[in-house]
Amino acid sequence: MKQTIPRRAIVMGATSGIGLEVVKVLASKGWQLGVAGRRDDVLQQLKDEVPQVMAVRAIDITRDDAPQRLNGLINELGGIDLYFHSSGIGYQNPDLDADKELRTVETNAVGFTRMVDAMFNYFAQRPDHQGHIAVISSIARTKGLGAAPAYSATKRYVSHYLECLSQLCTIRRLHHIHLHDIRPGFVRTPLIADGNRYPMQLDPERVAQSIVRGIERDRSVITVDWRYRLLVAGWRLLPRWLWVRLPIATK
């Protein structure tokens, strides 16, 4: 990624997990940052603790006013080179609690679409400026997971949508827009701190470093880490009739 200094990024979902760690990595590399999430108190604390954080904004991506609030954050930061989307939720929900499934869809699919479309249109209107949109999907996008239907389905949606936007860049000749589909495995964050057993957990600090390195190298798909690249390759070889007969669960 070739940018003039200072480079500027907004991290959506910066108050915990991968988003928070990416803030730290970008700050260490000299980026000027705007951070957003639902918890204003945590955002203010982050601004106090990280000198590179120049602006904060409480944003709920499930609300209709989220793009307007994001635009205000961009203006306060003075522009943007990278939009990093780390807002997402997920549950193991084998009992199909409808509220959990619908909240997941509203955040991971509808909220994601709302924010990424806003950023795509923002960069599309600035053809002389290189713009990067990076989004956390998951290795769960590879196959449907019966223990987490909405989560795995929405992550497939995210990945497929980013692929569509990449082709749209070709159709509209928007070669200055770069899309990054980030597919981590199980990362040791609050998202999986639900008492269930998750194998091959990854350190969030190292995951963030791998993600930023992949963005800097302009990789369109970033799977973290090598063990999960092998696992996903194996999953893809399994036919559907066999996959749906496997009692895969983490409990």
Phi (first) and psi of residue 134, to 5 degrees? -120, 135
CATH fit for domain 8-243, picks 3.40.190.10, 3.20.20.70, 3.40.50.300, 3.40.50.720: 3.40.50.720
How far apart are the C-alpha atoms of 212 and 119, rounded to whole Å? 19
**Domain-by-domain residue ranges, the chain?**
8-243
Question: pLDDT value at position 199?
Answer: 63
- Distant-in-sequence contacts of 88-92, Cβ < 8 A, 24+ apart: 88/13, 88/112, 88/136, 88/154, 88/191, 89/191, 90/148, 90/150, 90/151, 90/191, 91/148, 91/150, 91/151, 91/194, 92/147, 92/148, 92/194, 92/196, 92/249, 92/250, 92/251
Alpha-carbon distances of 112 from 39, 108, 161, 212, rounded to whole Å: 18, 6, 10, 20
Contact 216, 30 (CB under 8 A): no
Given this model, what pLDDT does residue 202 score?
Answer: 76
Closest CA to 54 of 1, 4, 84, 10: 10
Reduced to 3 states (helix: H, G, I; strand: E, B; else coil), residue 183 is strand
Write the single-letter amino acid at 33: L
User: Is there a contact between 118 and 166 (Cβ–Cβ < 8 Å)?
Assistant: no
Beta-carbon contacts of 157 under 8 Å, excluding residues fewer than 6 positions away, are 108, 109, 112
Distance CA 43, CA 56 (A): 6
Spell out, as residue ranges, where the chain has pLDDT lower than 50: 3-4, 251
Q: What is the pLDDT of residue 232?
A: 87
How far CA 129 is from CA of 1, 169, 201, in Å, comes to 12, 14, 37
pLDDT of res. 5:
55
